[in-house]
Amino acid sequence: MAVSFRARICDFFLIYLLICVLSRYEVTSDRTSLKIYQSLQADYFCFKRLNGTHEFGCSSDRTGNVGVVHVVSSVADVQHIIKDGPDMKYVAVLGMSFFNMGNMTLLQDSGRVSGVIVIRDRALPAEGFSPDQSCPNRNMGMYEEDADYASCATGNWNPQNPALNMFFVHWHFPIFMLDNETSIDVIVNKCYGTFNRHQTTNKALCAAQLKSRMSAAKDSITCLRRSNIASTLHPVRYCDPLSGRNIISTLYPTYNNKTVDNRSVIIVGARMDTFSLFDNIAPGADSSVTGFVTLLSVARLLKLMSGNAEPVPPKNVLFAIFNGEAFDYIGSSRIVYDMEKGQFPAVPVTSGLAPATLGLHHISRFVEIGQVAPHTPDVYLHVDPLSTKDAKTKASVSQLVADLKAAASKDWAKLTVHDVSSTLPLPPSSVQRFLKKDKNIAAVYISNHNSSFENRYYNSMFDTVENINGTAATLGDVAEHLTKLAAVVASTVYKELTGTEPTDVPLQKLRVKELLECYVVNASCALFHEVLDREATRPLKSNPLSLYISVDPTGSMIHPSARLTKLVLSYFTGTVVENVSRRNCSSHTVLDKVYEFDWMDGPESNSTGLCVKSSTTFTLARSPAFESEDVTIEEYSTWTESVWEEASLQIFVMPSWKQEITTLTLGVVIFLISLALVHVVNSEAAILFTPRALVGV
């Protein structure tokens, strides 16, 4: 028993010692890793998105892609990487002047590149930079089956530029972007400058490891099918449908117990979203912000001009901000789908008051506001050549155009407005999805361009405040232009509503400059703080909001940009409910389904907060293709986003070929010596380890 107990004690201490050694090894390995690798900024990386037929974007190997860092500063550097340099894997570091489709295609085709790091320059590329297609959303508009207009047959909307189609390529390596000065200095000077500038295989080289592993592959249909296979107790998601929220509001409330007349609703619409090649950066200053900021201002003006009209006019206005439009019109397609199903703005309730159900047959006019930054001071009115073949629709469109021009000529506007040729189709626009189903709608699309975009940074990371500031002397000048345009649209819609000209257009009460500053300069702005409830929200960041639609795997996530925009529209079109506390404000929404109630901090002069009642609400912006098995992939957007693991970017010093050979040779020599020594000891074991007789025995 004593021996057994002693053995157990011995085993216990051996196990304890082993645990201590392993724990010490784990800590030591972490410290060793920190000594070997230096982490760099990994905020912006290219990720993978898929549609019904293809996959686009980037991914790394599971453990990351490794290559020798080479900074490209000339065409010779590109040739060094793809052909002239030593045959090894490279990570190309590109300045913006070298980050273009030509060089990227060369790097991919060479097979010698394992990753790309882009150094972001705040200066706008002189030749433009738009990674979208020359004919955006070409397969999901209203013209894809029309021989005269399909695939931009009359001319491309997005002009030629160095990045054209870059978003729609399956890159075989990860791409990261750096804008942090410290990280840029480390990789350009301390890594490349110190170790790799005079590159040879006889010395240590600086390498980078880029990790951005994506789970999805092939296309959306395949990816979602794999995700739906219930093979484990914990299902694995490989991708998620792009999904967000549309924002809608009516000028006057509607009720499900009151009939809405056919062709009595005027839609004022704009898109909300944009994209870029990289995660966390989608500014959309002209691509989307100028349009929906103008819409928000139109809503505020119409609220001020109409007041609490009694009796309520027989016509109404629906303000609609569509989300996901950059990805084959996700938001507008969903609203049209819901209208056809009799489920817009929500599934009808069986009892109680609720907003009236609206359908396509209720829409009479559709005014969409697109890219309207004043690259030139001119404004262009686009109309659809197919729907205007009908004489009645053409007459309605002509009247709408005439009213817009008349308003633009007023002393408070003085805008130059042009008709676009009737032989041109509509630009990429949300209204196309409505006209595709109902050509009796009189539609006008307002933009700052004629037959091709003036915005040379359409749907890109460079569509920033610098882009729209380059169109005028200051942001204030841009705001003044948008203010006048908002007044023109509001005045025209007011005349459509009431049959009379507005007696007053209170431009001075608009807050366009503040809106622009909030969306393209600093999200932690005064106006956003007015519409938020400080007690229920986290502090806002000072950088501009990303306007990418994103995903919603749980069905309950609302993107910050959508939430803030909804609150601003509520603030502009709603009314303050007096003598209501913060706690009681939210409970009103449960009791009253016609309105939504939001508690807001209000202006600085208000120390208690405000309860705002409005008809502003969200509707789902998720493609109908993911709602029913009956919907074919050709009819609706099928865009999904890959699930990914945590991204990282690290550099380290890689030993030279000579060092590796020396290390290997030394290891082999030590192994052979050890083998010989063991053989000698083993053969002489009888002599070396013969036990001696104990003295005195």
Specify the pLDDT at position 2.
45
Sheet holding 55-56, edge to edge: 55-56, 49-50, 640-642, 239-241
Q: Are 461 and 280 in contact (CB under 8 A)?
A: no
Look at residue 551 and tell me whether its pLDDT is greater than 70.
yes
* Amino acid type, 26: E
Please state the rounded mean pLDDT for residues 58-87.
97
Residue 438: band (very low, low, confident or very high) from pLDDT cuts 50, 70, 90 = very high
In this predicted structure, what is the pLDDT of residue 28? 46
Q: Which residue did the predictor score with more confidence, 198 or 59? A: 59
Listing DSSP states for 446-470 in one string gives: EES-SSS-S-TTTTSTT-SHHHHHT
What's the chain's average pLDDT? 91
Kind plus residue range of the DSSP H or E element containing 331? helix 330-340
Residue 198 has pLDDT above 90, yes or no: no
pLDDT at 694 over 60: no
Model confidence pLDDT, tens digit, residues 477-486: 999 999 999 9
Q: Indicate the pLDDT class of residue 687, thresholds 50, 70 and 90.
A: confident
Mean pLDDT for the stretch of residues 619-629: 91
> Which of 170, 169, 174, 172 shows the shortest CA–CA distance to 64?
174
Q: Letter for the amino acid at 690?
A: T
Q: Give residue-wise pLDDT tens across range 11-22.
A: 555 555 555 555
pLDDT, mean of residues 265-271: 99
Per-position DSSP letters for 647-684, written without gaps between them: PEEEEEEEPPHHHHHHHHHHHHHHHHHHHHHHHHHHHT
Q: What pLDDT is stored for residue 229 in this prediction? A: 80
DSSP state of 439: T
The pTM of the full predicted model, rounded to 2 decimals, is 0.91
The angle at the Cα of 477, spanning 474 to 478, to the nearest 5 degrees, equals: 95
Statement: residue 58 has pLDDT above 50: yes
- Which residues are bridge partners to 250 per DSSP? 318
d(CA 527, CA 520): 13
Residue ranges of alpha helices (H) inside 70-113 are 75-79, 101-110
At 657 the pLDDT is 74
Tokens linked to 449: 């361009």
In this predicted structure, the answer to whether residue 406 has a pLDDT above a threshold of 70 is: yes
Q: What is the arithmetic mean of pLDDT over 363-379?
A: 97
What distance in Å separates the CA atoms of residue 530 and residue 604, rounded to the nearest whole number?
Answer: 8
pLDDT band at 235 (very low <50, low <70, confident <90, very high): confident
For the chain, the maximum distance between any two Cα atoms, rounded to a whole number of angstroms, is 129
Helix count (H) and strand count (E) of the chain? 17, 23
The pLDDT of residue 68 is above 50: yes
More confident residue, 518 or 634: 518
Q: Does pLDDT of 686 surpass 90?
A: no
Q: Is the dihedral of CA 10, 16, 22, 27 positive or negative?
A: negative
Give the phi and the psi of residue 555 in degrees, each rounded to 5: 80, 5
Q: Which helix (H) or strand (E) holds 28?
A: helix 2-36
pLDDT score, position 680: 84
- pLDDT band (50, 70, 90) for residue 27: very low
Render pLDDT for 141-171 as a digit per residue (tens, 0 to 9): 999 999 999 999 999 999 999 999 999 999 9
Tell me if 423 sits within 8 A of 386, measured CB to CB: no
pLDDT at 253 > cutoff 80:
yes
User: How many whole angstroms separate alpha carbon 282 and alpha carbon 545?
Assistant: 8
Summarize the confidence of residues 237-247 as an average pLDDT.
97
**CB neighbour list of residue 109: distance below 8 Å, 6 or more residues apart:** 82
Q: E-assigned strands of 604-647?
A: 610-614, 617-622, 640-642
| Single-letter residue type at 199 | Q
Sheet containing 243-250, strands listed edge to edge, beginning at the edge strand earlier in sequence = 416-419, 378-382, 442-447, 363-369, 265-271, 316-322, 243-250, 617-622
